[in-house]
C-alpha cells in the first residue's frame, strides 16, 4: 500500500476516532442527569452538584495524564496508545451503563479522563503523517470531527434515551469498541522505531512536560497563547446556557437548535475553511484572524440585544477555529519528530487545566454581575472577559512569534 493511501486511511481513522468520542459524549448529555438522579435518589439540584464533580474528575485526569500518554506514544508508537485509549473509553461507557452506585460513575469518569488524553496522540499522529505545510489543514480535521459529533451526539442521545436512560451508554461503548477494531485492522504505525525516544518519567507529567518544552523558548511562549485561547473558549460551555436563558429567555429546544447551529458552523470552519484560507494567508495571519474573530464574537455576545444578533455574532465567533490548527502547525515545527507526542500531551494537559479553572471563574463573574446587589448589572461580563483573554493572547503571540505578521505563508 503506497504512502499517500496509508496516510488517507490514517486520517480517516483519526477523524472517526474524534467523531465517535464526541458523539459518545454528546449521546450521554441528555440522559446523564437522569442516571445521577436514579443512583443518588436526589433531586435535579443535587444531581447537578454531582455532575460538576464528575466533570472535575474527568478534567483533572486529563490534566495529569495527557503528558504521560504523549510520552508513551513517543516511546512505543501512536497506534497502540490510540487503540488502547479507545478500548478504555468503551469500558468507561459500559461501566456507566451498568453502574449500581454513584461511585461507579466516578470510576468511569476517572478512566475516561485518562483515555480522553488520546487527543494529544491523535494530533501527534497527524504531525507524523502530514507534511509541515499541510499540518494546519489536517489539524482542522480534529475540530471538524468535534463539531460534527456535537451535532449528531445530543440528537442521537435524545432519540435513544427514549428507550431507557442507560441505553445511550451502551451505544457509545459499542461505537468505541468498533472503532478500536477498525484501528486494529487498518491503522499503521506512524512513528518509525528510529525516531522513538527513551521514556523518562520526569517528563511524563504536567510539570516535567512544561520543563522539557522550556528548552524551546518560542514553544514555551506559544503555550501561553494556547492557555488563553482555551480559557476564553470555555466561556461557551460554562455560561452559554445561563446567559441565553437569562437574557433571551430561550427554551431547552432553542438552546439545542443554537448548539446544533454552532456545531455546524464550527465544522464548516475546521473541515473546509482551514483548507481554503490558511494556505492562502499563511499560518501566522490565520492565528491573528482567528483570535480577532473570536474576540469580536465574544464582545458581540455580550452586547447582543436580540436573538438574531446573537446568531450573527456566532457566525463571526466560529472563525476563531482558524487559530487553533494554525497555531498547532506552527508549534509542531519547533520540536523534533521524536517529541511530537510530548508537545501535544503538554498542550492537552494545559487545556485540561483551563477546563478545571474556567467554569468556576467564568460562572462566578456571571453570577457577580447578575446578582441583585451587583454594582453594575451586566450579564455579558464573562463573555467580555473571554474576549479580553483573546486580545491578550494576540499580544503574547506577537511577542513570542519570531516571524513578522506579514511573513510569507510557510
Q: How confident is the model at residue 404 (pLDDT cuts 50, 70, 90)?
A: very low
The predicted structure's pLDDT at residue 356:
74
Question: Tens digits of per-residue pLDDT, 354-375?
Answer: 777 777 778 778 888 887 888 8
- Give 189-208 pLDDT, tens digit per residue: 777 777 777 766 655 566 66
Give backbone dihedrals phi and psi of 370, rounded to 5 degrees, phi first: -120, 0
Under the banding of pLDDT at 50, 70 and 90, the label for residue 15 is confident
pLDDT (average), residues 306-333: 90
State residue 207's pLDDT score: 65
pLDDT in tens, 123-147: 777 777 777 767 666 777 777 777 7
How would DSSP label each residue in 278-307?
HHHH-HHHHHHHHHHHHHHHHHHHHH--SH
Rounded Cα–Cα distance for residues 409 and 282 (Å): 4
Could you give the CA distance from residue 65 to residue 71 in angstroms, rounded to a whole number? 10
Is the predicted pLDDT of residue 2 greater than 50, yes or no?
Answer: no
The mean-pLDDT minimum among 91-100, 156-165, 272-281 falls in 156-165
d(CA 169, CA 91): 10
pLDDT at 240: 80
**pLDDT digits over 70-127, tens only?**
777 777 788 888 888 888 888 888 888 888 888 888 888 888 777 765 666 777 777 7
The CA-to-CA distance between both ends of the chain, in Å, stands at 30
Q: Above 80 in pLDDT, residue 31?
A: no
Domains of the chain: 3-186+203-400 (1.20.1250.20)
Cell triple for residue 357? 479553572
81's CB contacts (< 8 A; 6+ apart) are 69, 72, 73, 118, 121
* Residues 21, 375: Cα–Cα separation, whole Å: 43
pLDDT tier at 407 (50, 70, 90 boundaries)?
very low
Residue 23's pLDDT band (boundaries 50, 70, 90)? confident
Cell of 176: 468505541
For the chain, give the mean pLDDT: 78
**Residues near 178 by beta carbon (within 8 Å), at least 6 away in sequence:** none
Q: pLDDT digits over 326-350, tens only? A: 888 887 777 766 666 666 666 666 6
Higher pLDDT, 403 or 284: 284
Looking at per-residue pLDDT, the higher value among 36 and 32 belongs to 36
**pTM of the entire predicted model:** 0.65
pLDDT class for 48, splitting at 50, 70, 90? low
Task: Report the pLDDT value the prediction gives residue 166, as an integer from 0 to 100.
Answer: 80
User: What's the pLDDT score for residue 217?
Assistant: 67
Residue among 371, 399, 37 at smallest CA distance from 220:
399
Best mean pLDDT range from 39-53, 114-128, 379-393: 379-393
What percentage of the chain exceeds 90 in pLDDT?
15
Residues 318-352, buried b or exposed e (16+ Cβ, 10 A)? bbbbbbbbbbbbbbbebbebebbbbbbbbbbbbbb
Measured distance CA(317)–CA(261) in Å, rounded: 12
- What is the C-alpha to C-alpha distance for residues 400 and 19, in angstroms, rounded to an integer? 33
Q: If pLDDT is split at 50, 70 and 90, which confidence band does 163 have?
A: confident
pLDDT given for residue 18 in this prediction: 77
Predicted pLDDT of residue 199: 62
Q: Are 258 and 321 in contact (CB under 8 A)?
A: no
The pLDDT tens digits of the residues spanning 198-234 come to 766 655 566 666 666 666 666 777 888 888 998 898 8
How confident is the model at residue 158, as a pLDDT?
62
Amino acid at each position: 500500500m503506497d504512502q499517500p493511501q496509508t496516510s488517507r486511511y490514517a486520517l480517516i481513522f483519526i477523524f472517526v476516532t474524534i467523531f465517535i468520542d464526541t458523539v459518545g459524549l454528546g449521546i450521554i448529555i441528555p440522559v446523564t442527569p437522569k442516571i445521577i438522579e436514579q443512583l443518588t435518589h436526589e433531586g435535579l439540584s443535587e444531581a447537578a452538584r454531582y455532575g460538576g464533580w464528575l466533570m472535575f474528575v474527568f478534567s483533572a485526569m486529563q490534566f495529569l495524564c495527557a503528558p504521560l500518554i504523549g510520552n508513551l506514544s513517543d516511546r512505543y508508537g501512536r497506534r497502540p496508545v490510540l487503540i488502547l485509549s479507545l478500548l478504555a473509553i468503551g469500558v468507561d461507557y459500559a461501566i456507566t451503563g451498568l453502574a449500581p452506585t454513584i461511585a461507579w460513575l466516578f470510576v468511569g469518569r476517572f478512566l475516561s479522563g485518562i483515555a480522553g488524553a488520546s487527543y494529544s496522540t491523535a494530533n501527534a499522529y497527524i504531525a507524523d503523517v502530514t507534511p509541515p505545510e499541510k499540518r494546519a489543514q489536517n489539524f482542522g480535521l480534529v475540530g471538524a470531527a468535534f463539531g460534527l459529533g456535537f451535532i449528531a451526539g445530543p440528537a442521537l442521545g435524545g432519540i435513544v434515551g427514549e428507550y431507557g436512560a442507560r441505553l445511550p451508554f451502551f451505544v457509545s461503548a459499542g461505537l468505541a469498541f468498533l472503532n478500536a477494531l477498525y484501528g486494529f485492522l487498518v491503522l499503521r504505525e506512524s512513528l518509525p522505531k528510529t525516531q522513538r525516544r527513551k521514556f523518562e518519567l520526569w517528563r511524563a507529567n504536567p510539570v516535567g512536560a512544561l520543563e522539557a518544552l522550556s528548552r524551546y523558548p518560542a514553544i514555551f511562549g506559544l503555550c501561553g497563547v494556547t492557555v488563553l485561547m482555551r480559557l476564553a473558549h470555555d466561556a461557551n460551555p460554562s455560561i452559554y446556557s445561563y446567559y441565553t436563558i437569562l437574557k433571551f429567555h430561550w427554551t431547552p429546544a432553542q438552546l439545542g437548535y443554537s448548539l446544533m447551529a454552532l456545531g455546524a458552523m464550527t465544522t464548516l470552519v475546521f473541515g473546509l475553511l482551514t483548507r481554503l484560507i490558511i494556505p492562502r494567508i499563511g499560518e501566522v495571519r490565520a492565528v491573528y484572524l482567528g483570535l480577532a474573530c473570536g474576540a469580536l464574537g465574544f464582545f458581540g455576545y455580550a452586547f447582543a440585544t436580540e436573538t438574531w444578533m446573537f446568531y450573527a455574532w456566532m457566525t463571526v465567533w466560529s472563525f476563531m477555529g482558524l487559530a487553533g490548527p494554525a497555531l498547532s502547525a506552527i508549534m509542531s515545527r519547533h520540536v523534533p519528530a521524536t517529541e511530537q507526542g510530548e508537545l501535544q500531551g503538554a498542550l492537552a494537559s494545559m487545556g485540561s487545566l483551563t477546563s478545571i479553572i474556567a467554569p468556576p471563574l467564568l460562572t462566578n463573574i456571571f453570577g457577580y454581575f447578575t446578582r441583585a446587589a451587583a454594582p453594575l448589572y451586566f450579564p455579558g461580563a464573562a463573555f467580555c472577559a473571554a474576549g479580553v483573554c483573546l486580545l491578550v493572547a494576540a499580544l503574547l503571540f506577537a511577542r513570542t512569534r519570531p516571524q513578522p505578521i506579514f511573513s510569507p505563508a510557510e
